[in-house]
Structure 1
Amino acid sequence: MKYLKLLVVSLLSLHLGAQNITGKVTSNKEALPYVNIYLKGENQGAVSKENGAFKITNIKPGTYTIIASFTGYQTQKKTITMGAKDLVINLDLPESELLDEVIITGTLKAVSRLESPVPVEVYSPAFFKKNPTPNIFEALQNVNGVRPQLNCNVCNTGDIHINGLEGPYTLVLIDGMPIVSGLSTVYGLSGIPNSLIEQVEVVKGPASSLYGSEAVGGLINIITKLPENAPLFFADNYVSGWGEANFDLGFKSRIGKKVDVLVGANYYKYSNAIDNNNDNFTDVTLQDRISVFQKWNFKRKDNRLLSIAGRYFYEDRWGGEMQWNKTFRGGDDVYGESIYTSRYELIGNYQLPITEKINFQFSYSNHDQNSVYGNIPYLAQQRIGFGQLIWDKPLKNHDLLFGLATRYNFYNDNTTATVNPDEITIPSVFIQDEIKLSEKNHLLLGARYDYDDRHGSIFTPRIAYRFKPTENDIIRLNAGTGFRVVNLFTEEHAALTGSRDVIIEGELSPEQSYNVNLNYLKKFYTKGGQIFTFDASAWYTYFTNAIIPDYDTNPNQIIYGNLDGNSETKGLSVNIDAIIDTGLKASIGATFQDVSQTENNIKTRQILTERFTGVWSLSYKNFPTNLTIDYTGNIYGPMRLPTLGVRDPRSEYSPTWSIQNVQLTYTTKANLEFYGGVKNLLNWTPNQGNPFIIARSDDPFDKNVQFNTNGDVIATTNNPYALTFDPSYVYAPNQERRLFFGLRYTLN
């Protein structure tokens, strides 16, 4: 009896000791329903009601960390003592609409986007989930002013255009390091696991004063997650009606007390040969690709930084005649383009153990490519090493940045253009000063000096001015120069296919550009609670020594040489983002541009450049059912295309065309997402309105083509248009309408 009384008293005391946590979740002072609230490390939690209120019952005595999470919003954490009442948790605005994200790309240091004198566009994983893709190359199709361009109908290689400029003018970084360049701009943009991406930063316009060659038209910085901020485990897998299968997996782990490691892997498989346009060639290249990524963060004294990351990438892709298999590789019986790519990359960032903030950043990539284009082999190796010391020195009203950099390039292939391996080391020095003239006025001055043994000294200055008249208005004016040292055989896929003869006129000098960009950003709130962000830019870029492939002089040749004249690109872009209502978000963007070249006083429109583009997205989440619908799309104006002379029956200009997608996502309370939808709703393909896309697809080795003594094609009975085999007439993907289904899981 004594023990029974003791048990009753103990249970009663536990019951009386247990209390509740009550509160309300808000966003922008408005109640936010259906938010997940839980206690870290405990199996207790709640979901906020329509009025934002929540209640967690039977809490034992103690101190807890309460976490409030909601898809698209910044997760909030608070430390509380049991029995907290009337707790108010405010969730920040959705991640994709925030203007105060921390960015690093514009000035090589972490600053608020609002404070940066350089306009930088930021895209979060939530943006890319609206239209899931197997790689970052395709994911950029809904970024205003950015267009993934396919360069070959057979092997489906591509590059990224910014504001109408060709892919080699775009520098792609991973964690700030320039390792996606040269050969990898053609074949290495795939295989970066989307699940590992923290955010993507886009700068439009020259950035050579900080990043050197290739950053002429703009740059894209793919920033991966920090291991300590990543979920414990995550997976994102989907399949499509065309037989595509994409798998993203990752996890993080802590080794000891001072080491965090993040591991991610991507596998993509497409082995379903389809020929819906009936030209006996694969509509989409078949691919078998694997990529493994690992990132290590080390905790050091005084929170100094030490981070090392690596990636291995292997891909086997081929496209060609439907009856092709690997026994035909390199022969002239059945045409196929087969590429084996093997590359590894290493990235590191080390803060020196001294009082001053000095970081040593480094990267190394090794790219090995074994490829054949029909019966023409292209075997190439490229190694790129990069290292730089950056000294960040803030002073009163000045924020100084000093840098010393060295870039090592090694390139060798089996073509006659590379008799000896191309090996060069380019040292650089740069300086930047952001001057605080007043709270509203900031001025940035920067300059870079590079020395290239082949071309001598290269100097690239820039100036940026930021005026912030109110908290919700920012005006930015940027001007600067850019340069690019050209290696055709690592950047121009058309120079490799063998479908046209490559002619190089004289010694190619570095391209130079002069650019000015005016940007205005405004954020405003309506009385109805809507939030709008307006972002507009106007730009003008003038090129000297431009190297633009000439497809027109001789339809059987691609002629490369420095332009005896100039090239210009000018335009205007506008983006509007809106939070219209709880659960309803929209964005729309448009770019209008004119890209031309002038030689011998004759002005012509640049090939494969559209006059206007548009992108949009509309997302609505129904909180009671946890269903989200996303509608995304883009539209492109006509482009001038590379035809094969006056007899070519294919249209000289593409039509206005659009790719639109819809997706439905169901989210469970266990962080499990089921999603599916339709890609290419309008079923648009480039063969519509054209008699064919690939010229002479029935004679890919030109065995039945006749030439005259001048090398010109003669029109014959079986070749009435006087054509040769050419797969470079391409501007849009060949994939038709298709369904897709996927599953995501996150364990925090």
Structure 2
Amino acid sequence: RPDLELGIPDLVIVAGARLDWNSRFERLLFTPRASAKYSFSQNSIVRLSAGRGYRSPNVIAENISLLASNRSLDIAADLGMEEAWNYGLNFTQNLHLAGREASFSLDLYRTDFMEQVLVDVDRSPTQVFIYNVDGKSFSNSLLATAQYNVLPGLDVKLAYKWNDVRSTYSDGVLRTLPLVAKHRGLVTLDYTTPDKRWNFNTRVQVVGAQRLPDNALVPHEYTHDFPSMSPVYGVWSGQVSRKFGQNLEIYIGGENLNGFQQHHAIIAASEPDSPYFNGSQIWAPIMGQVAYLGLRFSPAGL
């Protein structure tokens, strides 16, 4: 794993590779990876990375939510390892606006999968097919984050995430994966009093539309007119905490204060023995407002 400077003081390149033997699949795995960092200034940095990776599937543990249904699992007998190439870019900028500290970061990532393990919940309402993709499969993501210290003790954070995750299904069609929101947003306000005893935090998370699994073959009386896409929704949460000395903190808060809920979340909920019973298509909170109260105690010296 050499570090290369190339005679450019603000540029650092790290390249490496490793060999691994996978006893489960009896394969020798070659995993190269490289990263680069360039500092335009002390407050402006760009990072690049690229590499290859492998993953051994553990389909039951990784898809435990599927057990909340009566669907049978059809796992391909020749299910193999996943392989992927990942490419990424990160840009970070720290700055001052009106005499206050601010920061901005941008992350861009692309992953190209080879033989991705796909959990196909679209082909049948009573079965789940798990197999390696024979075709194009990729993930693109963008994350933009901005943070600003508006007033002493008051910080505002804005974040936006874009996801484009698609795979080629067994019928040869390239589809967006279900239950993956293409757009997400987050707004956070955090205030700490000058004496550091009180902290007030509130946040709003916005979740964009998600493609829902194909329920066209489910009897209509079970689906409650399930749409093909979930609606855009927001969740508002907040917390207030108070410190007493150095060791004790009491906090009270609430989640989903706006009370948004997914109704009729379970298909065939009144017939748990039905082959169509399915509680795995959860795309939003299923509980309303939730309040909590607690304390944190840290013994002195720990």
TM-score by length of 1: 0.37
Aligned equivalents of 2:64, 2:240: Cα separation in 1: 37
Cα 1:661–1:495 change in 2 (3 A) is closer
1:481 to 27, 52, 56: 52
Q: Is 1:457 the equivalent of 2:28?
A: yes
Cα 1:457–1:658 change in 2 (3 A) is same
Q: Is 1:610 the equivalent of 2:200?
A: no
Aligned equivalents of 2:247, 2:27: Cα separation in 1: 56
Unmatched 5+ residue regions in structure 1? 1-431, 703-722
Counterpart in the other structure of 1:727: 279
Q: Is 1:546 the equivalent of 2:116?
A: yes
Cα 1:503–1:439 change in 2 (3 A) is same
Cα 1:594–1:457 change in 2 (3 A) is same
Which secondary structure state, in structure 2, belongs to the residue aligned with residue 469 of structure 1? strand
Counterpart in the other structure of 1:360: none
Q: Is 1:433 the equivalent of 2:5?
A: no
| 2:93 alignment partner AA | K
Cα 1:473–1:494 change in 2 (3 A) is same
Counterpart in the other structure of 2:135: 565
| 1:619 alignment partner AA | D
1:172-321 matched pairs, under 5 angstroms? none
| 1:561 alignment partner AA | Y
RMSD between aligned residues: 2.1
Cα deviation for residue 695 of structure 1 reads 1.5
Aligned equivalents of 1:619, 1:562: Cα separation in 2: 45
Cα deviation for residue 495 of structure 1 reads 5.0
Aligned equivalents of 1:601, 1:498: Cα separation in 2: 27
1:57-456 matched pairs, under 5 angstroms? 432-437=1-6, 438-453=8-23, 454-456=25-27
Cα deviation for residue 533 of structure 1 reads 1.1
1:513-524 matched pairs, under 5 angstroms? 513-524=84-95
Cα deviation for residue 476 of structure 1 reads 0.7
Which secondary structure state, in structure 2, belongs to the residue aligned with residue 448 of structure 1? strand
Aligned equivalents of 1:660, 1:682: Cα separation in 2: 6
Cα deviation for residue 595 of structure 1 reads 0.8
Which secondary structure state, in structure 2, belongs to the residue aligned with residue 565 of structure 1? coil
Aligned equivalents of 2:112, 2:56: Cα separation in 1: 17
Cα deviation for residue 565 of structure 1 reads 0.7
Counterpart in the other structure of 1:653: 229
Aligned equivalents of 1:517, 1:534: Cα separation in 2: 17
Query: What do the CA deviations read for 1:628-679 (whole angstroms, capped 9, x no partner)?
Result: 2111232111112235334432222211122211122223345432321222
Cα 1:443–1:580 change in 2 (3 A) is same
| 1:595 alignment partner AA | V
* Structure with more contact order per residue of length (Cα contacts < 8 Å, sep ≥ 6): 2
Q: Is 1:590 the equivalent of 2:160?
A: yes
Aligned equivalents of 1:565, 1:643: Cα separation in 2: 21
2:253 to 677, 689, 694: 677
Counterpart in the other structure of 1:698: 270
Cα deviation for residue 611 of structure 1 reads 0.4
Q: Is the 8 A contact 1:666 1:675 kept in 2?
A: yes
Query: What do the CA deviations read for 1:54-113 (whole angstroms, capped 9, x no partner)?
Result: xxxxxxxxxxxxxxxxxxxxxxxxxxxxxxxxxxxxxxxxxxxxxxxxxxxxxxxxxxxx
Which secondary structure state, in structure 1, belongs to the residue aligned with residue 118 of structure 2? coil
Q: Is 1:472 the equivalent of 2:43?
A: yes
Q: Which has the higher helix share?
A: 1
Cα 1:449–1:683 change in 2 (3 A) is same
TM-score by length of 2: 0.89
Segments ≥4 residues shifted beyond 6 Å = none
Counterpart in the other structure of 1:404: none
Cα deviation for residue 601 of structure 1 reads 5.0
Aligned equivalents of 1:498, 1:579: Cα separation in 2: 47
Matched positions, count: 292
1:639 to 185, 202, 210: 210
Largest Rg, 1 or 2: 1
Unmatched 5+ residue regions in structure 2? none
Cα 1:624–1:504 change in 2 (3 A) is closer
User: What is the percent sequence identity of the aligned residues?
Assistant: 25
Cα 1:623–1:566 change in 2 (3 A) is same
Counterpart in the other structure of 1:356: none
Aligned equivalents of 1:495, 1:680: Cα separation in 2: 25
